[in-house]
Amino acid sequence: MDIKQAFAKAAFATSAATSTSLPVDEGIEIAFAGRSNAGKSSTINKLCGQKQLARASKTPGRTQLINFFTLSADAMLVDLPGYGYAKASQAKQRQWIELLEYYFSYRKALRGTVIVMDIRHPLQAADQNMIDWCLHHQSEVHILLNKADKLSRNQAMQQLHLTQKNLAATTNVSVQLFSASNGSGSAECYKKLSSWLGAT
């Protein structure tokens, strides 16, 4: 499988609002998660080379469902609800948490989780909770420090090294610089995604 071509052919499959509406648990799934203002939807669109595949919005917290996109006959990209959106009602936040808890606890197809963070504010409490959650459920984590274009190269590298240092004691977590705006870091990200999909 050519990973870049697979992502370019990504197509919407279904959405799930509850555990009972999740699609059949088979094949390989790669999940994307992130704080509501980290640029998760823009990241997915950039990697897939499609402007409107994942709905990006200026209003944080728009992704309220688990959205599934086909990559191949046996692989899917999974767009998880954005987390850390304080203005969402407590009932809505509980609903998201319960759905995510079920997904991570029981989804056998899940191979790894990409967590998108704003490089200017990485490893917030909600981000750390998501990392811990993923690792507790044996999901490998790859962190994209998004919006790297907002910083100088030197500043971006400092943030990368600091984030790596803060996660040094954590296994099964990797970190890289990324920009959903100009696509920098895409090649490194594709390499990680290929390893999860068993692609060459």
Q: Tens digit of pLDDT for each residue in 21-68?
A: 999 999 999 999 999 889 999 999 999 999 889 875 454 445 578 999
Sequence ranges of the domains in the chain: 3-197
Q: Which residues on neighbouring strands pair with residue 33, listed in sequence order?
A: 115
Right CATH number for 3-197 from 1.20.1260.10, 3.40.50.300, 3.10.20.30, 3.40.50.2300?
3.40.50.300
Q: Tens digit of pLDDT for each residue in 59-94?
A: 444 557 899 999 999 999 999 988 876 566 777 777
Contacts of 97-106 with CB under 8 Å at 24 or more apart are: 98/19, 99/16, 99/17, 99/18, 99/19, 99/66, 100/66, 100/133, 101/133, 102/19, 103/19, 103/22, 103/31, 103/66, 104/133, 104/134, 104/136, 104/137, 104/139, 105/137, 106/19, 106/25
- How far apart, in Å, are the Cα atoms of 79 and each of 33, 61, 92? 7, 12, 17
Most confident range, picked from 55-64, 95-104, 168-177: 168-177
Token digits of residue 139: 């999901």
Q: Residue 200: its pLDDT value, please?
A: 43
pTM, to two decimals: 0.93
